[in-house]
Amino acid sequence: MEHEHGRSPTHYRCLGIGVGPANLSLASLLHGHPEVSNLFLDRKTAFGWHDDQQIPGTSLQVSMLKDLVSLADPVNPFSFLAYLHDQGRIYHFLNARFPAVPRQEFRNYLAWAAGRNENVVFGEEVREVAFDGVFRVRTDRRTLTADNVAVGVGIAPWLPPQARPWTGTTQYHVSEFMTRAQDLGGKRVVVVGGGQSGAEAFLDLVSRTGTALPRRVSWVSRRRNYFPMDDSPFTNDFYTPSFSDYFFTLPGELRKAFNEQHLLSSDGISEDTLRAIYQRIYLHRFVEDRTDLVGLHPNREVVEVGRGPAGTWALTLRHNDQPGRAERLEADVVVWATGFRCAPMDFLEPIAGRMERVDGEPKVDEDYAVLWDGPPGHDVFVQNATRQQRGLADPNLSLNAWRSRRIADRLLGVRGDDQLASFIEWSAKDTGEAPWPA
Ligand SMILES: Cc1cc2nc3c(=O)[nH]c(=O)nc-3n(C[C@H](O)[C@H](O)[C@H](O)COP(=O)(O)OP(=O)(O)OC[C@H]3O[C@@H](n4cnc5c(N)ncnc54)[C@H](O)[C@@H]3O)c2cc1C
């Protein structure tokens, strides 16, 4: 590590860009390893985890063991259990018997892990990464150098083109829900999007009471129905290291088809959320006599957005089975829960031409290092940017610790033990005999 006359070091073995759960996991795994000097930068002024979507009552969609480190390094001091213990609340947590960890509590755990790691810095944005024998990482404050770079810039809200011209205080992406979706009492609100985020927004709106309750809440989804996430044991095997490694070997078109076919195993709605919504609707309709509060419109796409009378919005819907019949919805407010895409990595522009790409993603090896023409030992690792190559688990927390462990092991020059393979034989076992005749 290079020291400039007593000033803080400016050269690192690994420089992390972005501090969400992905890079925070890597920072946690590297923390006890001074031989890999590291620094992780985030442009936010303080740690946050989808803070504007911390809707009260929401929970983590995965096991609490899928924290930053436990599945890869169960004795690491940055585990969720270590957090509970450190805060003196481990018995309370046990007694509370939450069916799933409250999302806000998991967010607080992540903030705790970031706060006790001196290699994590907030309020510094990476603007450019160049290479001239070392990586030169230019931020809004200084230039640092590194042997390796780990990019974990996560996801960015996505809006369909027909929504983009209209965004503001009465049309917005669900990622801004907690700030914007206030004072909706007596209004007509349309939620567009049939995934977990849309479901949580819808549930929150129909659960408001008294004068805070909207006049009407409509829920539009392209999916044929409001489908659940598949959380059953064999489907969950898709979210294990051995399946991820198998998936990685498949041809691109098979991987694409798989991701489309099994999307609901990750992007469906938690069954608990669906049940809560159904029960709320029952109570409104049959017990509290609010027969006109809710409108459910699955199997439809919003094809046009325009201005309606007196400052309202007019949405044109196309029914997937009956495309000839145009439906109209009038709204005071539209919440677009239309998902997220990988955040842009424009700061890699100076070296982008040297990096291989596949299916619109940086092409990675088995350790998530981008294939490029740079010298060995100088890697750009990417986290949460290779769904087409590594499968549906890539954006979520399931393989977060394991993926970071792969990267950390590469930096440390070791290879940790993998867990036992799945019960399922994912790959064909070649007997060496002639294949079946076609
Ligand atoms: C509301 C919500 C709830 C979710 N709940 C779950 C769940 O329960 N279970 C699950 O498995 N998954 C869940 N997910 C999926 C989610 O994507 C992951 O949990 C996780 O946030 C991905 O982590 P990440 O580190 O890749 O990205 P992010 O969390 O998006 O973090 C990326 C970070 O990079 C920073 N950054 C970007 N560009 C720069 C730059 N140029 N310089 C410096 N910093 C930069 C950003 O400020 C940000 O802090 C949820 C997603 C959402 C939206």
431 CA from centroid of ligand 1 (Å): 44
Q: Is the dihedral of CA 267, 268, 274, 278 positive or negative?
A: positive
Q: Which fold has domain 164-228+268-336?
A: FAD/NAD(P)-binding domain (3.50.50)
3-state DSSP call for residue 405?
Answer: helix
Q: How far is ligand 1, taken at its centre, from the CA of residue 21, in Å?
A: 6
Residue 3 CA, ligand 1 centroid: distance in Å: 32
Atom of ligand 1 nearest to the CA of 398: 11
- Counting ligand 1 atoms within 8 A of each CB, the residue from 64, 105, 153 with the most, and so the one to mutate, is 153
Question: Residue by residue, what is the 3-state secondary structure of 279-308?
Answer: HHHHHHHHHCCCCCCEEEECCEEEEEEEEC
Q: Centre a 10 Å sphere on the Cβ of residue 148 and count the other Cβ atoms it contains.
A: 22
Within 8 A by CB and 6+ apart from 117, the residues are 24, 27, 28, 31, 40, 78
Q: 438: CA distance to ligand 1 center in Å?
A: 47
Could you tell me which CATH number the domain at 11-156+342-412 has? 3.50.50.60
* pLDDT recorded at residue 3: 46
Mutate to test the pocket of ligand 1, among 41, 50, 238 (most ligand atoms within 8 A of CB): 50
pLDDT score, position 437: 65
In three-state secondary structure terms, 242 is: helix
Beta-bridged to residue 257, according to DSSP, are: none
Torsion angles phi and psi, residue 388, rounded to 5 = -70, -25
> How far, in Å, from the CA of 240 to the mean position of ligand 1?
20
pLDDT of residue 7: 53
Query: How many Cα atoms sit within 13 Å of 47 on the Cβ side?
Result: 21
SS3 273: helix
How far is the first Cα of the chain from the last one, in angstroms, to the nearest whole number? 61
Please list the pLDDT of the chain residue by residue as tens digits (438 residues): 444 444 567 999 999 999 999 999 999 999 999 999 999 999 999 999 999 999 999 999 999 999 999 999 999 999 999 999 999 999 999 999 999 999 999 999 999 999 999 999 999 999 999 999 999 999 999 999 999 999 999 999 999 999 999 999 999 999 999 999 999 999 999 999 999 999 999 999 999 999 999 999 999 999 999 999 999 999 999 999 999 999 999 999 999 999 999 999 999 999 999 999 999 999 999 999 999 999 999 999 999 999 999 889 999 999 999 999 889 999 999 999 999 999 999 999 999 999 999 999 999 999 999 999 999 999 999 999 999 999 999 999 999 999 999 999 999 999 887 899 999 999 998 877 776 665
Q: Which mutation among 25, 41, 43, 270 tests ligand 1's pocket best, with the greatest number of atoms within 8 A of CB?
A: 43
What 3-state DSSP class applies to 264? helix
β-pairing, 38-42 with 11-17? parallel
- Among 163, 157, 226, which Cα is nearest to 196's? 226
- Rounded Cα gap, residues 222 and 172, in angstroms: 18
On the question of a common fold for 11-156+342-412 and 164-228+268-336, the answer reads: yes
Q: How far apart are CA 46 and CA 170, in angstroms?
A: 28
How much distance in Å is there from the Cα of 50 to the middle of ligand 1?
Answer: 7
- Residues with a CB atom less than 6 Å from ligand 1: 17-23, 41-44, 49-50, 53, 60-62, 125-126, 152-155, 197, 343, 347, 383-384, 395-398
Specify the residue with its C-alpha closest to ligand 1, atom 16.
396
Which residue, chain included where needed, has tokens 């755990």? 109
Best residue among 70, 106, 397, 407 to mutate for probing ligand 1's pocket (most ligand atoms within 8 Å of CB) is 397
Give the pair of three-digit tokens for residue 236.
């969950």
Closest of 402, 22, 24 to residue 240, by C-alpha:
402
Which residue minimizes the CA distance to atom 9 of ligand 1?
A: 61
The count of other CB atoms within 10 Å of the CB of residue 344 is 9
How distant, in Å, are the alpha carbons of 31, 310, 316, 342, 365 from that of 22?
Answer: 14, 46, 39, 13, 18
- From the CA of 384, give the closest atom in ligand 1: 26
Phi first, then psi: what are they for 26, rounded to 5°? Answer: -60, -45
- In this structure, the residue with its CA closest to atom 38 of ligand 1 is 153
**Cα–Cα distance list, 88 to 75, 84, 94, 105 (Å):** 18, 6, 12, 14
Distances (CA, A) of 120 to 14, 21, 23, 211, 312: 12, 12, 10, 44, 45
Show me where the domains of the chain are located. 11-156+342-412, 164-228+268-336
Query: Which residue's CA is the nearest one to ligand 1's atom 2?
Result: 50
Under DSSP, is residue 30 helix (H, G, I), strand (E, B) or coil? helix
